[in-house]
Structure 1
Amino acid sequence: ASRQLRPLPSSVDWVREGAVAPVKNQGDCGSCWAFAAAGAIEGAAYLASGRLRSLSEQQLVDCDLRDFGCDGGLMDNAFRYDHVRGGLCSEEEYPYTASKGTCQKTFFHDSCENVEATQVSGFEDVDPQSTPALMEALLMQPVAVAIEADERTFQFYRSGVFNTHCGNQLDHGVLAVGYGTQGGSDYWLVKNSWGPDWGEQGYIKLVRDPQMDAEGGQCGILTTPSFPIV
């Protein structure tokens, strides 16, 4: 798609705009993909309806048969599930257990309250290996991204702009919620699902450097960004 050549704002922060639910903890379950996808849908639904609801990752873990519960999955598959299923239940209606269970929402009449507001009509894959493309997408809404998160330096991140070597072997789904500059370093603002005690209240700032575009950006963040359309 052709992009309008307009100057991008120097920062975007969907947390500050109220489009991001509180940080959650996936626990001992490889369900990061569900947290990233649910977070992206939460943001899109908020921007469409003005109402922020924390959505059910457990529904995706239990019911999304294109993905593998606690053994991994893809955010785009979760968006497909949401589209076909007609939306997601809230966290309260279908709470998280950190293990794969029997799907409680097999039939369409097993519905939850206001579920239609969280139904996506589709999703869009952002042009990969492009800092400007992800910035453009983040102007509109939070974006699901995959990164490599197995480096110890990443796992023990505390604060600041993370610019140490990270790799690009994607193994973790997270939610990009903005970008900005701190202390002269440009960054992507990313919401993790390792609880609020990790990083900066559950968030990490990944260095944002167009010179890294060809290798997928810091930790591979530019490799497979996508967002749902509500």
Structure 2
Amino acid sequence: MASISRTNIVSWLFFSLLFVVSSLALSRPLVESSNTDQMYCNWMTKHGRVYKDSQEMAKRHKIFLENVKLIEDFNAQKDVGFKLAVNRFADMTNDEFRASLTGYKMESRVTKPNAGFRYSNDTNPPESIDWRKLGAVTPIKNQGSCGACWAFSAVGAVESINQIKNGKLVSLSEQQLVDCDVDGTNNGCNGGFMDDAFDFIVKNKGLATEEVYPYIGSDNGVCNDNKTLMVSATITGYEDVPGNNETALEMAVANQPVSVAVDAGGFKFQFYSYGIMSGFCSTQLNHGIIAVGYGQDYDSGRKYWLMKNSWGDNWGEDGYLRMAKDITYDEGMCGLAMIPSYPVV
């Protein structure tokens, strides 16, 4: 039997894609189909999308077009203060997005006595701060399709406080939490809670580095005990910021990056591109991020929180998000002020 060349395979894939997209275009006006089909093909190439069959491609193409319309309609509004963009989540429904990209388990939170709030007397915080510029924030990471945002939020806060206290910034292991922090409420890629992650780190007497225990984006239920012994950074505990109090949160962030839970399930989060997120947002907390600063936009005068996310550096502002600060509601934008916490060294 003659072998199939690489060129023939590539050609077959190209014409298969062309057939599917052309078939989809028959039900739409020529100009519209030409523009959107080209956009979709370019998007697939950029993000390396490969679907199992033509039916799946047709389904994803339809979702893509619906999301593009949603984004365009939103961006057409005036004086909103931020923009959305067609990103790597554009072929996902919002339900699919929430299921795979969030993972904070609000329902599993156990109320514990607060160990205190050590920054309560810091009543004159700076007007702005950016811990990135102070060398206390590791590069943006990517949790992939694993709902381990809780681990990324907790680990990021631990990385920062160790740099602030010890002068050395080291990327620590989220995978260690995903694999090993399983005896309580935390459940790997199925979600967890930052405070419980801090508890685990204390009991384990620290975390290994990312290099020693690298992230794989999945949980197989196996904890590598040998790697967990190779501790690189430790904490002695954690404290909760007084809830529903942006002033208290500012006091805390002025001293160190803080783990924050937000409602990231809406389309604003899914397609956020740049600017200061504002407007209506639910407070059904489902995602862990890190407040790494705050400030005021020079052009608009709007105050904002600077948040580090874990969806890669091709989301938002190079992986970061600015959210409206000091809003009318005590809970803060998307609930960001409800239950923040920070590790203690």
TM-score normalised by the chain length of structure 2: 0.63
Secondary structure of the residue aligned to 1:118 is: coil
Return 5+ residue gaps in structure 2 as ranges.
1-116
Structure with the larger strand share: 1
Q: Percent identity?
A: 47
2:242 pairs with 127, 131, 156, which one? 127
2:218 pairs with 91, 99, 102, which one? 99
1:5-33 deviation per Cα after TM superposition (whole angstroms, max 9, x unaligned): 73321101111111000000000110000
Residues 194-209 of structure 1 mapped to structure 2, 5 A cutoff: 194-209=311-326
- Whether 2:151 is the aligned partner of 1:34: answer yes
Amino acid in the other structure paired with 1:86:
K
C-alpha deviation, 1:4, in angstroms? 2.8
Report the RMSD for the aligned CA atoms in angstroms: 1.5
Measure, in 2, the Cα distance between the counterparts of 1:194 and 1:10: 28
1:79-137 deviation per Cα after TM superposition (whole angstroms, max 9, x unaligned): 000000011111110011111121002x7x9521xx2x521100000001101100000
Amino acid in the other structure paired with 2:206:
G
Query: Cα distance 1:110–1:217, how it changes in 2: closer, same or farther (>3 A)?
Result: closer
Measure, in 1, the Cα distance between the counterparts of 2:179 and 2:156: 17
Report how many residues are paired. 223
Asked if 2 retains the 8 angstrom alpha-carbon contact of 1:154 and 1:166, the reply is no
- Whether 2:166 is the aligned partner of 1:49: answer yes
Secondary structure of the residue aligned to 2:274 is: coil
Asked if 2 retains the 8 angstrom alpha-carbon contact of 1:153 and 1:164, the reply is no
Measure, in 2, the Cα distance between the counterparts of 1:71 and 1:28: 10
1:111 pairs with 213, 221, 229, which one? 229
Larger radius of gyration: 2
C-alpha deviation, 1:63, in angstroms? 0.2
C-alpha deviation, 1:154, in angstroms? 1.6
Secondary structure of the residue aligned to 1:137 is: helix
Asked if 2 retains the 8 angstrom alpha-carbon contact of 1:58 and 1:94, the reply is yes
C-alpha deviation, 1:165, in angstroms? 1.9
- Whether 2:328 is the aligned partner of 1:211: answer yes
C-alpha deviation, 1:166, in angstroms? 1.8
Query: Cα distance 1:97–1:110, how it changes in 2: closer, same or farther (>3 A)?
Result: closer
Structure with the larger helix share: 2
State the match for 2:306 in structure 1. Answer: 189
Amino acid in the other structure paired with 1:111:
L
2:205 pairs with 86, 92, 109, which one? 86
C-alpha deviation, 1:178, in angstroms? 0.7
Measure, in 1, the Cα distance between the counterparts of 2:171 and 2:125: 29
Amino acid in the other structure paired with 1:150:
G
Secondary structure of the residue aligned to 1:212 is: coil
Amino acid in the other structure paired with 2:141:
K
Measure, in 2, the Cα distance between the counterparts of 1:84 and 1:134: 26
Measure, in 1, the Cα distance between the counterparts of 2:216 and 2:123: 45
State the match for 1:228 in structure 2. Answer: 343
Return 5+ residue gaps in structure 1 as ranges.
none
State the match for 1:25 in structure 2. Answer: 142
C-alpha deviation, 1:148, in angstroms? 0.3
Asked if 1 retains the 8 angstrom alpha-carbon contact of 2:123 and 2:251, the reply is no
Asked if 1 retains the 8 angstrom alpha-carbon contact of 2:147 and 2:188, the reply is yes
Query: Cα distance 1:162–1:210, how it changes in 2: closer, same or farther (>3 A)?
Result: closer
Asked if 2 retains the 8 angstrom alpha-carbon contact of 1:130 and 1:210, the reply is no
- Whether 2:129 is the aligned partner of 1:12: answer yes
Amino acid in the other structure paired with 2:316:
G
Runs of 4+ in 1 over 3 A off after TM superposition: none
Asked if 1 retains the 8 angstrom alpha-carbon contact of 2:129 and 2:295, the reply is yes
Query: Cα distance 1:64–1:25, how it changes in 2: closer, same or farther (>3 A)?
Result: same
